[in-house]
A and B are shown apart, each in its own frame.
Chain A
């Protein structure tokens, strides 16, 4: 099978901190790829580079055959993204957020209404389309972001902790939608999560990153075999250790955590 996403020696430095340290990996078209790692490991930074939000310090990225650094707009049309932090306009209604997205992604005008309706129905928000996003709960916002990321029919969908803070029902329904999209449209899924059971259930391939480096990758079976463990959670703990990241002096991650907490309050 052909690779829809291919990353070579990708590095990102923030001043003296190397957040992502020369990682390389490939993702097969149509597969579900789980990108796991402790807090501050470099997952979001990697996703931001893959999606043109951050410029890499060095390295190469190809998505859907396009060089992400040189053919930015073609690459951008090829993926959808749900960021770790909310990125909705809360002063607009859900529907207006969807229309905005359709226009900036150049969805043909004739198909727009139909596609928006479809995407909102998938996540069960069609009836609430005219509500302002500021009135939405956290779970509804997440579902709306997922619906939004589907409107332009991306080949690859990036999901950065899409289910954090959601109840089990919502988590389940979101993953069900995502699995369906993966199966029916052959959409490639690139996800991060801290719920090992989610990764175990969904992923075709898994990569584990720590301190900016990929320390293990392969199928679930391969990883469990190599680490001589019985579950992904055990392998994860064995590979990344048992200390808590925010308290062992892993530069700045505590600050970042507090900052993002503050940001969420602002909503």
Chain B
């Protein structure tokens, strides 16, 4: 059981590690956002908030963003496995669909975590400071939970998709809104009711809020509430993913 999960996990890490272009390419977007927003909105934020530093607000958001995109993408990679036929090799093996789901979720989540950690260290260069080891440890917990949830989501979506044609649709109508309306870039205050509502059912809202809470002390819902929400949602999505996964034909 453990070894099966391990080998599925290892395979994904090897893929990640061997594709340097992807590894480096996926750092471009968070970096761009950090620089563009950090310097673009920084002065405005400082004025509006009465002296607070925007980089403190933004850094946890950008870390979450890089985790979100890497995790969803890792989950969706199953579609490639299916197109290149490798999914069949895994599916005819005498192992349970739950093992496959766990291995793939942990693999994707680990990669997303690594990506998140790289971005977190990049924020250091731009002046962001984590207050201490305790906050960092709690931050890692939140980062991992965000990674877990969104890998699970990617896998769940992938189990319902035959090919990559729907990729743009999912990016533009699901992942981008999740990102922009999560409070990663700007505070979720004084919003029109519809947007307000969406931001509250956005899972990333709680992930970002929790991560920002433990890293900077700025927090809206309470860290334990954030933690509870994201734990429950992760468990839920992984269960749904496993159920859908056991129904697909390779």
Asked if B14 and A76 make an inter-chain contact with CB atoms under 8 angstroms apart, the answer reads no
* Nearest residue, chain A, Cβ from B6: A103
Binds A, one of B92-100, B108-116, B149-157, B212-220: B92-100
Minimum distance in angstroms from A267 CB to a CB of chain B = 7
Asked if B249 and A96 make an inter-chain contact with CB atoms under 8 angstroms apart, the answer reads no
Q: Is B136 among interface residues, defined by CB-CB distance under 8 A?
A: no
* Nearest residue, chain A, Cβ from B103: A104
Q: Is B85 among interface residues, defined by CB-CB distance under 8 A?
A: yes
* Nearest residue, chain B, Cβ from A91: B15
Question: Considering only CB atoms and an 8 Å cut-off, how many residues of chain A contact the other chain?
Answer: 31
Q: Is A171 among interface residues, defined by CB-CB distance under 8 A?
A: no
- Which residues of chain A (58-117) have a CB below 8 Å from chain B? 72-74, 76-77, 81, 83, 85-92, 96, 99-101, 103-106
Which residue from A74, A106, A266 sits with its C-beta under 8 Å from B84?
A: A266
Asked if B86 and A104 make an inter-chain contact with CB atoms under 8 angstroms apart, the answer reads no
Query: How many Å lie between the Cα of A77 and that of B95 in the bound state?
Result: 9
Query: How many Å lie between the Cα of A267 and that of B86 in the bound state?
Result: 12
Minimum distance in angstroms from B82 CB to a CB of chain A = 10
Binds B, one of A49-57, A196-204, A219-227: A49-57
Task: List the A side residues contacting B83 at CB < 8 Å.
Answer: 263, 266
Asked if B94 and A73 make an inter-chain contact with CB atoms under 8 angstroms apart, the answer reads yes
Which residue from A52, A73, A87 sits with its C-beta under 8 Å from B86?
A: A87
Decide if the interface of chain B is mainly helix, strand, loop or mixed. helix
Asked if B7 and A100 make an inter-chain contact with CB atoms under 8 angstroms apart, the answer reads yes
Query: How many Å lie between the Cα of A263 and that of B164 in the bound state?
Result: 13
Asked if B92 and A81 make an inter-chain contact with CB atoms under 8 angstroms apart, the answer reads yes
Asked if A87 and B89 make an inter-chain contact with CB atoms under 8 angstroms apart, the answer reads yes
Query: How many Å lie between the Cα of A36 and that of B250 in the bound state?
Result: 24
* Nearest residue, chain B, Cβ from A80: B92
Asked if A89 and B92 make an inter-chain contact with CB atoms under 8 angstroms apart, the answer reads no
Query: How many Å lie between the Cα of A91 and that of B88 in the bound state?
Result: 16
Query: How many Å lie between the Cα of A100 and that of B87 in the bound state?
Result: 13
Query: How many Å lie between the Cα of A105 and that of B95 in the bound state?
Result: 8
Query: How many Å lie between the Cα of A89 and that of B90 in the bound state?
Result: 11
Q: Could you list which residues of chain B lie within 8 angstroms of chain A, going by C-beta atoms?
A: 3-4, 6-7, 11, 14-15, 18-19, 83-86, 88-96, 249-250
Known: A89-B11, A96-B11, A105-B93. 9 other contacts (CB 8 A): A53-B92, A76-B94, A81-B92, A87-B85, A92-B11, A100-B11, A100-B89, A103-B6, A266-B84
Q: Could you list which residues of chain A lie within 8 angstroms of chain B, going by C-beta atoms?
A: 51-55, 72-74, 76-77, 81, 83, 85-92, 96, 99-101, 103-106, 263, 266-267
Closest CB pairs A-B (n = 8): A104-B93, A87-B85, A76-B94, A73-B94, A103-B7, A77-B94, A87-B89, A87-B88
